[in-house]
Structure 1
């Protein structure tokens, strides 16, 4: 039995798999987000407690001893811990917007572009560089008390195994890692004014770190592997490794990933290059802030339940009777395929005749246009897999195929946890049938007529977005 742990932003999951990749058991537990005045924080003890709970549940329900356990989880943010791995303060989430003024300044003075040219990562308010600089200015005592500034899964690995603080090349990719040498770029640390905090950056395990479990949640001695984080883990779990192939994760974050062997640090600074377990292979990532959180806000505001979405999408035609949504609802703006900390959502074309169905369809279409923008910027040329919570809506998957104008290889289940196990197996030389583990559950073909309708609608989306960006910078 193989166990994957996926420490998500709002839900912590564990999944047990057999040797052929079949899911034996899945356990999940929600975790909270504290939003206040632009800050978005998480209680590390709550998160770790949820990890232990779901591991205990899944190992009790699934038969057999645990051969391997692989960890993955949300990226970015800052998880400050002491020498024992205990929290120094609440974790600052990747959704946190407090450092937006810093990012504005670094955008204006060229720091964001300089960092991107060196590391392939375009900073945004919730990435570790800006957050650490903000904490250094406003909460220096927290940094003084910390032994390490970790990423989410690193904190969990530290606690589960008692191993010292460590991260992996995928998490370290934003914003301090040189993607060519796979080591920290100290010049970037200096540019962000953090040279005196350099000690907080955890060592990079390359290949990913592994250590035996202490006995909380997993049987003592179980081999636990730390990494990669959720985006590259999902790419592994969906079988996206060939250059040109892509993955769209329809989750809280709308993440577009394209596998590549070409490191291109030109163009508009946006997204990042994620280093993988194979030197010379990267994922060109456009992890947009827009995602299912945008749809969740519209549903809660209109009083619509998630199970009603498919029926509502059938009630109104493509174009949603003229209602348009720019779905940039995150308090920290947008980070891919451009960085615009002050960008906000816009609803247009709404009248007294507009229905809830129009608002829901327009939001789903807006998210689809954002995905198309990201995938084009990331250089998609091959097949496209899709995973995440959004795949539970067949109607939305059909809409996405139409908006994107290409077939979707739908990969359901716990794709991130699956990828974490595959990474662990690779680390320990355990041979698994990756084709069987990553086989799609369905292929959704676009409708030619609807795809033709959405082509000019996408061009209109880009025009409205350009105008909104101008207003955000005014």
Structure 2
């Protein structure tokens, strides 16, 4: 007879995959599954996905982990479900909760004019006072203005706006809510009052009624409906906990919710997430200021749009999109190249850039290329360029008198010893990795464990579940060398910004 073990199900609605993970009461992963997702790109800046695909892939991922768990020596009983997902991506529903159009994703760059309009209508001072964030392409509010101006019939049909994890949870429970971490990243939310901003909605002439109620990340948001439970092999009535946006939920999984720690995430995009218990926005709003999943905490975040995607792009052009060449083999070649890539520097702005430039016209650049450079130099230069781009966010935070003691690396950048060492040397901070890490999906399972009342706090779960591997320590000689290269890197964008704008006008 099998021993009974309770478990928590964490689900991450990512851009490249839906991930489901089953975690037991001690934090051990019983089973995990990734279901790959497709992205719709009709031109260079439009990036969309079908929310129905998210839902179908979620059902498949849950079914798969349930089947995998059934093969273990334990009888697994899921007692709580938590969700997370990509931020900013807009799910637009009509009065019957049918999808109005494909979701416009976080990496979409079509809203430059709408961002300018928001900046002009609200102004920098009121942006600071109401939102604590600057309008940038990919955020939710500019997408609503774009819809209103370019697809008025679809805008008229719009009755409910949801974020990706909220849509999937609605399909699970029939309940429509969001949490503070996702709401705060829409540019429609007052980060000081922790509520939707009536002032901003009125200024932008957007209806208040389309926005869902907001609850805490660890609050219950309904229970699993019977028809859904039947489809994926679970019991009906399992509590479904609200969850949160993927970056802060990932930070929950890596224990990054105290000052002095930074979460560095190198996945499709790249982020530096820096928690704070005191809201202090930078004067130019170059860093995002959002609400953390831990109550009464915020975080500042810098974002680059093409991190792991830059290495993927390089692999595709060097080897072909159908090549089976692994990233590990590419990185192995790059290990033979000295820091600085023999004078080759890469700007990873392949689809525009967020922090600190907020420029949808920005493009990728190799500078310093000469006849002795090899494929391995290109790979290392891309890896270094991604880290230089992330360092821009660190420098802004330091200007606010923040000090840091440790980087905790997640995403694909945490899996490579070389990429961890480059981060340690570029940031001049030790880089540690979570020993058992399934990304934001694991963080969603943590939120489920707290929301289901098996634990009293996020801190309690993380202390019990999370362990860390040995750090990659910065090498003082390499740090000094990278400081010089970073100084050159910082001067490149201002030198070519005007050329980016001219190129964009020619190609458009």
Match in the other structure for 1:449 = 477
Matches within 5 A, 1:263-278: 263-278=279-294
Asked whether the equivalents of residues 106 and 112 of structure 1 are also in contact (C-alpha less than 8 Å), the reply is: no
Instruction: Mark the CA change 1:236 to 1:334 in structure 2 (over 3 Å): closer, same or farther.
Output: same
Say if 1:224 and 1:380 are closer, same or farther in 2 by CA, change over 3 A.
farther
Superposed CA deviations along residues 116-164 of structure 1, whole A, max 9, x for unmatched, are 442112221111011110001011222222331111101101001111x
1:33 to 21, 35, 39: 39
Structure 2 equivalent of residue 468 of structure 1: 496
Mapped pair 1:321 → 2:328? no
Any idea what SS the aligned residue of 1:88 has? Answer: coil
- Aligned equivalent of 1:285: 301
* Mapping for residues 32-431 of structure 1, pairs under 5 Å: 32-37=38-43, 38-62=45-69, 63-83=75-95, 85-107=97-119, 111=123, 114-163=126-175, 165-174=176-185, 175-191=187-203, 193-195=204-206, 197-206=207-216, 208-214=219-225, 215=229, 216-217=231-232, 218-303=234-319, 305-330=326-351, 333-378=352-397, 379-411=402-434, 413-431=437-455
Distance in 1 separating the partners of 2:342 and 2:107:
32
CA shift digits 1:399-437 (9 cap, x unpaired): 221111111011252121121122222233322542232
User: Which residue matches 2:506?
Assistant: none
In the TM superposition, residue 390 of structure 1 has moved relative to its aligned partner by 2.0
Q: Residue in 2 aligned with 1:21?
A: 27
Closer, same or farther in 2 for the Cα pair 1:277/1:316, shift >3 Å? closer
Residues 16 and 37 of structure 2 are in contact (CA less than 8 Å); yes or no, is this contact kept in structure 1?
A: yes
The 3 A distance-change label for structure 1 pair 267 and 326 is same
Relative to 1, partners in 2 of residues 1:293 and 1:176: Cα closer, same or farther, differing over 3 Å?
same
Assess if the C-alpha contact under 8 Å between 1:70 and 1:421 holds in 2. Answer: yes
TM-score by length of 2: 0.88
Native 8 Å contact 1:271 1:335 kept in 2: no
SS at match of 1:390: helix
SS in 2 for 1:34: coil
Deviation at 1:375, TM superposition (A): 2.4
Contiguous gaps of at least 5 residues in structure 2:
1-6, 70-74, 320-324, 503-508
- For residues 22 and 295 of structure 2, the distance between their equivalents in structure 1, rounded to whole angstroms, comes to 29
CA separation in 1, counterparts of 2:330 and 2:122? 43
User: Matched residues in 1 for 2:126 and 2:381: separation?
Assistant: 37
CA distance in 1, matches of 2:24, 2:85: 21
Q: Is the 8 A contact 1:85 1:155 kept in 2?
A: no
Query: Is 1:4 equivalent to 2:19 in the alignment?
Result: no
Distance in 1 between the 2:272 and 2:17 partners?
A: 21
Q: CA deviation at 1:11?
A: 0.9
- Number of equivalent positions: 469
* CA shift in 2, pair 1:112/1:470, >3 Å: farther
Conservation of the 8 A alpha-carbon contact between 2:163 and 2:182: yes
Q: d(CA) in 2 for partners of 1:452 and 1:57?
A: 49
CA distance in 2, matches of 1:157, 1:83: 18
C-alpha distance in structure 2 between counterparts of 1:220 and 1:310, whole Å: 46
- Is 1:438 matched with 2:438? no
Instruction: Give the Cα separation in 1 of the matches to 2:264 and 2:497.
Output: 24
CA offsets 1:316-349 (integer angstroms, 9 cap, x no match)? 211112211110112xx22223422221111111
CA positional deviation for 1:363:
0.6
Which whole-Å CA distance do the structure 1 matches of 2:396 and 2:451 have between them?
32
- Return the offset for 1:190: 2.7
Moved more, 428-437 or 128-137: 428-437
Contact 1:85 1:159 in 2 (8 A): no
> What SS does structure 2 have at the residue aligned with 1:67?
strand
Structure with higher Rg: it is 2
> Cα distance, 1:29 vs. partner?
0.6
Q: CA deviation at 1:305?
A: 3.3
